Amino acid sequence: MTTPLLVQDDHTIELAAESLLREHPEALVCGLSTNGLIVPIPQSVALRGQATIEGRAVIDSVVGADRNTVVDLWQRVQREGSVRGMVRLLSKPSRWVTVYFLDLRHVHEILLCAIIPGEQAAEDEDGQADELPPAAPRFCSLTEDELGKVLGCDAAFVQMFGYTAQEVIGQSVLDQIHPEDQGRVVEGWLAMLATHRDQQTRLRRKRKDGSWMWVDTTVHNFLNEPARNHVLVEIIDVSAEMVAQEALQEREELLRRLIDAMPDGLLQSDTDRNVIYHNARLAQILQGTPDAGSDGLRSPEAVDTDKGDHLVLSANSLLSTLTEEAASVFEAALGRVLDEGIDQNVEVDFVLPSGRRRRALMSVRALLRQSGEVSGAITSVCDVTDSTRARNELERRASFDALTGAHNRPSILGALQSELERDDAAKTGVIYVDLDGFKAVNDTLGHAAGDELLVLIAERLKEVGRGDDAVGRLGGDEFLMLLRDVPGPEVAMNVARRISESVGSVFTLSCGPVELRASLGVAYAEAHTITAEELVERADSAMYRSKYQGHGLPILAGDAV
């Protein structure tokens, strides 16, 4: 099977050969003498890394069914100057290749054979391979004079743009250049003439059907070379690349819009902790300004960037509002992400220029190359001040009595259990406090007075306790004081005596003075010897002994457990 090329003159054939070798460094090539035998390729033929065909003749490398194709091509190249066809090689008989014959005897004294690998052919119902049409060319060339008028073009140019050679020869090259690209073309042309250096330009050329093709052009100045005296323009179709680039730009624009619309701040860092990118929202959160690019944020560390419509600030500038502790926590988290690729979430405090203290959740994630190597980190920053306050309030309500501010029953018992489960040899004490005569206050003065009295009781219990002790309200008029790290029963009894003295005195309420007394039971134990409920029961039993005695004095529960 053969596909003819256009009949061309010697010069056009030479250009076609140069273009073919430039476009196909993977080709197999050889020189042929007039009798069809393989001969060495002269040094005057500029190869581009192509491997050479060894042997007696090209026909020896072709499967038997395709040898007539080679013979036909050989006969026709003598008349037409350049031809091509498709054959199968003995080395890979299931694949088609394109074979070119070009007559270069007028310049290099050989005929050139080039074999271009093709795609695997499909097989018909009889198991025979179908003919594969040659792929549309992506590379072509034309020649121009010093004024930019076309002198000639190769067959690939005709196929790529749809013009006949007669339609472009003698015409100005600018006639086919997009108006927006003509200025750069003229600038490159003048530079080529002045410097004699090759000039490269990406531009749009018009097809005959009126559509535009993106191409890369390289202009070579051969005006002063013997036997040439022209400018060679090499053209490569980059339409597919431009389509992909435009699609990428559209995706980048979409991503930028999404990032700008995000409620979270974003910070991208490289492995050296340099800021690569941050969105406007990040500076709004950490700097407390509605405009991340305002003059108020400009600093000697601000860097102008084309990655967005705002300033990219340095890490020092962006994170300057973090507290010292917060900066240390974030640095440690970032270091672990960059060094180990382990994602981190940290909550940190920062102080705005206005003095307001805020809290942020910083989610640090590793950016990985295809090889799995960490290339940087992306940090998402969210202001969680309000949610943190709400969470803390819920925790406070779940842990503390709403009236007195003391721990509620589950909270104080949980703290006591934690102390009893410590791994050291510490001893823990508890003081069970029950108010004597409290019911009478409620009955005679009202529940408001009773609530007021309970608040004052809780305050006095906190005042007489040691620094690490905790006060809890078990319910009604019953309180429990948790004594951490008690060296012995005497220390616990001393605290209980202070409680007895403090509670057994006059309380001034809004409705008048009130005298009160409390019954107190004391118990203590070593860790891992008793549960919280059991220790409280011991103290409760001792409290009832104190109530029975009726003097408001603390009673120690039995012997130390």
Are 370 and 422 spatial neighbours (Cβ–Cβ below 8 Å)? no
- Tell me the CB-side half-sphere exposure of residue 293, using CA atoms within 13 A: 11
Cα torsion for 199, 203, 206, 212, to the nearest 10°?
Answer: 160
More confident residue, 325 or 311: 325
pLDDT higher than threshold 90 for residue 522: yes
pLDDT higher than threshold 80 for residue 351: yes
More confident residue, 9 or 44: 44
Distance CA 100, CA 158 (A): 18
Comparing 245-259, 360-374, 409-423, the range with the smallest average pLDDT is: 245-259
| Mean pLDDT, rounded, for 74-89 | 91
Domains and CATH numbers, the chain: 2-120 (3.30.450.20), 139-242 (3.30.450.20), 264-388 (3.30.450.20), 400-556 (3.30.70.270)
SS3 231: strand
SS3 205: strand
pLDDT higher than threshold 50 for residue 129: no
pLDDT higher than threshold 90 for residue 376: yes
Distance CA 144, CA 497 (A): 111
Q: Please give the pLDDT value at position 326.
A: 92
Q: Helices 438-445 and 447-464, interaxial angle, to 10°?
A: 140
Burial (CB < 10 A; 0-12, 13-18, 19+), residue 127, is: exposed
Q: Please give the pLDDT value at position 19.
A: 84
Q: Please give the pLDDT value at position 236.
A: 92
Q: Please give the pLDDT value at position 16.
A: 84
SS3 236: strand
For residue 555, the cross-strand partners are 521
More confident residue, 305 or 439: 439
| Sheet-wide strand order for 427-436 | 470-475, 478-483, 427-436, 517-526, 555-556
Q: What are the pLDDT digits (tens) for 131-169?
A: 444 556 788 999 999 999 999 999 899 999 999 999 999
pLDDT higher than threshold 90 for residue 28: yes
pTM of the model: 0.46
Q: What is the mean pLDDT of the chain?
A: 86
Distance CA 508, CA 345 (A): 50
SS3 526: strand
> Rounded to whole angstroms, what are the CA distances from 51 to 54, 59, 151, 245?
9, 17, 32, 34
Residues above pLDDT 90, as percent of the chain: 58
pLDDT higher than threshold 50 for residue 3: no
Q: Please give the pLDDT value at position 404.
A: 92
Distance CA 1, CA 99 (A): 11
| Mean pLDDT, rounded, for 61-83 | 91
Q: Please give the pLDDT value at position 315.
A: 66
Indicate the pLDDT class of residue 7, thresholds 50, 70 and 90: very low
Distance CA 205, CA 159 (A): 14
Comparing 246-250, 278-282, 303-307, 392-396, the range with the smallest average pLDDT is: 303-307
Contacts of 266 (CB under 8 A, 6+ apart): 259, 277, 278, 279, 281, 282, 378, 379, 380, 381
Q: Please give the pLDDT value at position 307.
A: 42
